[in-house]
């Protein structure tokens, strides 16, 4: 899980142009301290930084990505999200390195399958291009909401796959 503010790039900051920034400061430590003083968790916020006349500024917003997620529920076989290269690599790295009890990952025909470690049944297939691009879900036992929740828990909230799997399983009653 992230512990501090997330840095956003000049492309992503355009999405925040309509929202009012929380505040602007001249140091990241000052931003963290102000959030803590307000009783807020710095990990729920993001910042954009720039320099003007030799002074570095940090503008802080509530993190929309954390709030809304980057993957939306979409019909199976259709694009659910456009991933940046870093997010695609993170998903592959988590799948490659994770060894847990509740969830397993298997790569078949270019699709990353999420498999229940207890029953061996495929929950969802995830097509993730290595260099970023369109993320597509393939039908398993989960509905679209469970699949999107699982990927958002991994990529946005930084949860371990076992915890994300349990949360997604708990969403079984959400209509697809």
Residue pLDDT, tens place only, 65-79: 777 788 989 999 999
- What pLDDT is stored for residue 122 in this prediction? 95
Q: Are 122 and 114 in contact (CB under 8 A)?
A: yes
Mean pLDDT rounded to a whole number for the chain: 88
* HSE toward the beta carbon, residue 25, CA cutoff 13 A: 15
The 10 Å Cβ neighbour count of residue 174 is 13
Q: How many angstroms separate the CA atoms of 26 and 7, rounded?
A: 15
Out of 8-12, 120-124, 136-140, 165-169, which region has the weakest mean confidence (pLDDT)? 8-12
Q: How many angstroms separate the CA atoms of 108 and 103, rounded?
A: 16
Out of 11-15, 52-56, 88-92, which region has the weakest mean confidence (pLDDT)? 11-15
pLDDT, tens digit, for every residue of 103-155? 999 998 889 999 999 999 999 999 987 777 899 999 999 999 999 999 999 98
Could you tell me the pLDDT band of residue 176, with boundaries at 50, 70 and 90? very low
- What pLDDT is stored for residue 19 in this prediction? 79
Parallel, antiparallel, or unpaired for β 6-7 and 45-52?
parallel
The 10 Å Cβ neighbour count of residue 33 is 13
- What pLDDT is stored for residue 8 in this prediction? 86
Percent of the chain with pLDDT over 70: 97
DSSP 48-93: EEEEETTEEEEEEEE-HHHHH-S-----TTSEEEEE-HHHHHHHHH
Q: How many angstroms separate the CA atoms of 61 and 101, rounded?
A: 37
- What pLDDT is stored for residue 117 in this prediction? 92
């Amino acid at each position: 899980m992230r512990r501090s503010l997330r840095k956003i790039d000049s492309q992503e900051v355009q999405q925040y142009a309509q929202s009012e920034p929380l505040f602007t400061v001249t140091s990241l430590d000052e931003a963290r301290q102000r959030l803590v003083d307000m009783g807020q968790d710095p990990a729920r916020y993001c910042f954009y930084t720039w320099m003007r006349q030799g002074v570095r500024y940090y503008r802080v917003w509530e993190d929309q990505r954390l709030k809304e997620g980057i993957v939306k529920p979409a019909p199976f076989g259709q694009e659910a999200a456009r991933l940046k290269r870093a997010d695609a690599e993170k998903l592959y790295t988590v799948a490659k390195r994770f060894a847990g009890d509740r969830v397993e990952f298997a790569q078949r025909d270019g699709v990353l399958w999420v498999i229940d470690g207890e029953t061996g049944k495929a929950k969802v297939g995830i097509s993730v291009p290595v260099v970023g691009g369109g993320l597509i879900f393939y039908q398993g036992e989960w509905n679209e909401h469970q699949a999107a929740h699982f990927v958002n828990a991994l990529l946005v909230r930084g949860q371990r796959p076992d915890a994300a799997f349990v949360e997604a399983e708990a969403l079984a009653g959400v209509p697809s």
